[in-house]
A and B are shown apart, each in its own frame.
Chain A
Amino acid sequence: METSRPPGSPNFARSDGRVVSSPPKVRKDGPAATIRTPTRELGALVVEPGTPTRGRARTAPLRREGPEKLTGEARYADDLVFPGAWFGGTIRSTEPHARLLAIDRADDFDWSRVVVVTAADIPGENIVASIHDDQPVLVPVGGEILHHAEPLALVAAPDRETLREAKKRLIVSTQRLEPVFDPLASDVVFAHYEIVRGDVDGAMAGAHLVLEGTYRVNHQEQLYIENNAMIAVPRDDGGVTVTGSLQCPYYVHGALKRALALTDRQAVVVQAETGGGFGGKEEFPSVVAIHAALLAKACRRPVRMIYERHEDIAASTKRHPAIVMHRTGVAADGTILAQDIEVVMDGGAYTTLSPVVLSRGTIHAGGPYRCPNVRVRSRAVRTNTPPNGAFRGFGAPQVEFAAETHLNRIADALDVSPLEIRRRNAYREGDTTPTGQVLRESVAAHEVLEKAAEAADFPTKRRLSARGRAERAANPGWARSARGVGLALGWHGAGFTGSGEVRLGSVVSIVLTAEGEIRVLTAATEMGQGTKTILPGLAADALGVDLDRVELVPVDTSIVPDSGPTVASRTTMVVGGLVILAARELRAKVEGATGRSFAESYRDHASRNGDLRVDRRFEPYPGISFDDATYTGDAYPAFGWAAAVADVEVDLDTGEVIVHEVVAVDDVGHVIHPVLAEGQVEGGTLQAVGYATIEEMKLDDGRYVNDRLSTYIIPTALDAPRLRTILVEVPFSGAPHGAKGVGELPMDVGAPAVIAAIADATGAWVTELPATPERILAALGVTPLRAVS
């Protein structure tokens, strides 16, 4: 392994300094320091549903890689040592749309000191393998540049200073072409869908009221604190091993094979400790990995491709901006009779994952509400801006912000409370969704709604804010701030959309080695959410052995099977489910052969019979099917349900918002690990609060203007509201542990709850995210929702 550090030597070959005397090492190389184990017992991971989560937290095992992360021992990509490594860099477009005419090397530089790679040097196909394969690894000379910061050439140098010099001396000539920035004006469509159910026009005609509204959301940056980073090392077999920060090792593996013309075995992808992903390291790392690999092959040595923050924000994918138009027919009591929805997503310059982001957005567009007459039309289009891609929620936060805000405005128009209108319309078991999916089980919309309203004391707070509005109306200019409370309800399909899981055909393996070790092999990555704790825990529980008996094998594509990407809230539910099934099979085999319990007999059995391996492939959940051609059927095996209540204060002079508290209630099927599950809800909720209030990418001529952490602002500990999390458990019978996803669910409801709270405080609806002070002040002068019939 290339990652071991030669004892006593300076860390990096790139160091331009000299250590005269180094401190005695606090930590020794090799095994981690002796860690004093906390006194609490490590209990069973899976317990019966209904056990109070607070009580369970005390028995849940601690994060497995915790000690490494708490001592600085954990090795992220940029911490890894590769002796003799060069530094890689990327030459990028400074135009949003142009013809690439030439890339010239200046005469006043010794080019033998560096390696330059252009499109002409790509041994395989010049594509970043994804859904449509339309994105080039590097724009070829004569080719079309489609966005600002698009990669044009690569450089590697033995040190950073030489790299900087060389990059300056590559001269790019372009001819500017007319860019398109407005998604409504774009005629290049990456994907489009239409869902039609019932008679929308007829139902609208018979409605008590038809209300329409348009909602906009803008780019959001994932802002993992660890930037994108990859190190590529040439292999003796002509291939390349890439180690880095990533969510989906087999996406990177597939992309390397295509671009570098490698076989399965020649392309090896290893995950380093990963400092956050949130979708931002779903597809984009393929680009970084290919670039690093091309340079490593060209200079025949390891190449470090470590982004700085500015480059990371400028070049990497963002959450899709969207424009969502709603036209809704309702009865006088607030019952939804018809929904006509149009969704336009801005995909940026290349397709990346837009078709699947849009698909999820389309299916979730109506919100978690029963409606017999629905039409959803959607499209994702090309603009000359950097490509957009995966980000926690994956199309759902955009459309659910629109659906929830629209429903709240309908409630206002009908003078029905936001709680009451949801009680009338939220899904119950047996209801049918727009794709024709009958929700047969695990429907917790009403439970999360009531729990959130009660925990936040929503009705009382609503009365207080109404009184505040009345007092301010009676005494204009009297108050300088206003308090309000807002409610949102959401749903999130767990796992891949439609037949995605069936197509993936994920595999996990468990090996009982001859030495009596139990090893779990999956491609599921740890990026903070708890994979390294959850998966071995599920295996240990199913085998009836202590957690410390089970090893989770490091993610390395030369060792682990393809258990799919670590995305779509699928790791605990889908991969974890497969781990349980594989473990049960292993247990049955051993117990069948020995006639004794697995725990008592597996070591003996292993020493007598040698390695025993069980591979388990995904099989469709019973009774779940989706027809891609007609876009009908069971879009997801199950949905998670979430409600949030936000309590905000708005400064009426400046438009500034303080979010004081968010109560988040999430149904995750079955809680496997309360502390980790709460961590997902808390983190997702704060990202949603940032989305609602302060996070905004500003563009000028297709370039992100605020591509730095001093200008793209995320919430600090002082900005963050108090987060109260309540976990609800309505198990999904198709998964052996009853668990549904948790990662994305909280991201769907936080923003509309905050916007509703701002409206409750001020009486004004902000219809575009984020609700910046400027937008809030503008909304305070805007006319209310218009009735069109």
Chain B
Amino acid sequence: MTAYRLLINGDPVELDVPGMRRLLDVLREDLALSGTKEGCGEGECGACSVLVDGAVVDSCLVPVCQVDGHAILTVEGLAERLPDGATALSALQEAFWTAGAAQCGICTPGMLVAARAYLDHGGGPDDMSIREAIAGNLCRCTGYTKIVEAIAIAATPQSGGGT
């Protein structure tokens, strides 16, 4: 086995794993980051979405060898780290909470990272643009209404902006 070096949620990690092991399994099983979910295992549902160098990918379709040396962001990396070591919900997470955008919560981690990428790329509160940004993430609970609303809140500058 080869050692792979990844930057996960800002922290450097070195792993000895088979190169074709799915990034999803590396996160969930080797690194105990079980916030990223598996819904279909074939890149259709987006529950396993993570960011690789800021781009949304389905981690069930990515072998770990492909992300050697890259930066990964998962749902666990979204909260703000406070100086005292505690964490606080980011503006995006808080918007999801207040708008009622999470119901059963299983699509939420993937939905949040997709939204984070959208906001990081300068996405605004426009309904259609938001829908395009999360079209790869299936939700069966919400009808998407409150998810779109939450992302629009987080994308609106006067709400405090930021992610």
Binary per-residue interface labels of chain A (75-95) against chain B in the complex, 1 for a CB within 8 Å, 0 otherwise: 110110000000000000000
Judge whether B140 is part of the interface by a CB distance below 8 angstroms. Answer: yes
> A62 contacts which chain B residues (CB < 8 A)?
97-98
Stretch in contact with the other chain, from A10-18, A97-105, A763-771: A10-18
CB of B13 within 8 A of CB of A274, answer: no
The answer to whether A34 and B31 have CB atoms under 8 Å apart is: no
With a cutoff of 8 Å between Cβ atoms, the chain A residues found around residue B143 in the complex are 682-686, 720, 723
Q: Which of A201-209, A405-413, A709-717, A727-735 contacts B (4 or more CB under 8 A)?
A: A709-717
Q: Judge if B66 is at the interface, Cβ distance under 8 Å.
A: no
B76 contacts A26, CB within 8 Å? yes
Q: Is A38 an interface residue (CB 8 A)?
A: yes
In the complex, the chain B residue whose C-beta lies closest to that of A13 is B29
Q: Are A226 and B144 in contact (CB under 8 A)?
A: no
> B interface, by DSSP: helix, strand, loop or mixed?
loop
Q: Is B88 within 8 A of A18, CB to CB? A: no
In the complex, A675 Cα to B76 Cα: how many Å?
26
**What does DSSP make chain A's interface, helix, strand, loop or mixed?**
loop
Cβ of B44 within 8 Å of any chain A Cβ, yes or no, is yes
Least distance between B36 CB and chain A CB atoms (Å): 7
Tally the A-B contacts, defined by beta carbons under 8 Å. Answer: 243
Question: Distance in Å from the Cβ of A242 to the closest Cβ of chain B?
Answer: 20
- Please, how many residues of chain B have a CB less than 8 angstroms from a CB on the other chain? 79
Given A17-B15, A18-B15, A709-B40, A10 contacting B97 (CB threshold 8 A): no
How far apart are A477's CB and chain B's nearest CB, in angstroms?
A: 30
Contacts of A682 in B (CB 8 A): 142-146
Identify A71's interface contact among B47, B78, B132, B137, CB under 8 A.
Answer: B78
CB proximity of B26 to chain A, nearest CB, Å: 7
Q: In the complex the two chains form, is B36's CB within 8 Å of A27's CB?
A: no
Query: Which residues of A from 649 to 705 have beta carbons under 8 Å from B?
Result: 675-676, 678-679, 682-687
Establish whether residues B100 and A676, one from each chain, have CB atoms under 8 Å apart when the complex forms.
Answer: yes
In chain B, positions 1-53 with a C-beta closer than 8 Å to chain A are 1, 3, 8-9, 11-18, 21, 26, 28-42, 44-45, 47
Residue of B nearest to A66 (CB): B97
Residues of B114-135 at the interface with A, using a CB-CB cut-off of 8 Å, are 127, 130-132, 134-135
**Chain B nearest Cβ from A56, distance in angstroms:** 13
Q: Is the CB of B145 within 8 A of A723?
A: yes
Bound form: Cα–Cα A35–B106 in Å: 20
Contact between A275 and B34, CB atoms less than 8 A apart = no
Minimum CB–CB distance from A367 to chain B (whole Å) comes to 24
B75 touching A20 by the CB < 8 A rule? Answer: no
When the two chains form their complex, are residues B104 and A72 in contact, meaning their CB atoms are under 8 A apart? no
Cβ contact of B97, chosen from A38, A273, A679, cutoff 8 A: A38
B97 adjacent to A528 (CB under 8 Å): no
Q: Are the C-beta atoms of A23 and B100 separated by less than 8 Å?
A: no
Task: Indicate if the CB atoms of B15 and A67 lie closer than 8 Å.
Answer: no
Question: Is the Cβ of A23 less than 8 Å from the Cβ of B31?
Answer: yes
B163 at the interface (CB under 8 A from A): no
Given A21-B12, A22-B13, A71-B76, list of 16 further CB < 8 A pairs?
A: A11-B29, A16-B21, A17-B16, A17-B26, A18-B15, A20-B14, A23-B9, A26-B11, A76-B37, A276-B141, A678-B145, A679-B142, A683-B141, A717-B139, A720-B145, A725-B145
Can you list 14 A-B contacts with CB-CB less than 8 angstroms, sorted by A residue number?
A12-B29, A16-B17, A19-B30, A20-B14, A70-B96, A275-B106, A276-B103, A528-B103, A686-B143, A708-B44, A709-B40, A718-B132, A720-B143, A725-B145
- Interface residues in chain B, defined as those with a beta carbon under 8 Å from any beta carbon in chain A: 1, 3, 8-9, 11-18, 21, 26, 28-42, 44-45, 47, 74-79, 81-82, 86-89, 93-94, 96-100, 102-109, 112, 127, 130-132, 134-148
A interface residues, Cβ below 8 angstroms from B = 5, 10-12, 14-24, 26-27, 33-36, 38, 40, 62-63, 65-76, 78-79, 222-227, 273-278, 308-309, 527-530, 675-676, 678-679, 682-687, 708-710, 714, 716-718, 720, 722-723, 725
Listed from nearest, the 9 A-B pairs whose CB atoms lie closest are A72-B35, A275-B106, A23-B11, A528-B104, A17-B17, A69-B105, A528-B103, A682-B143, A686-B143
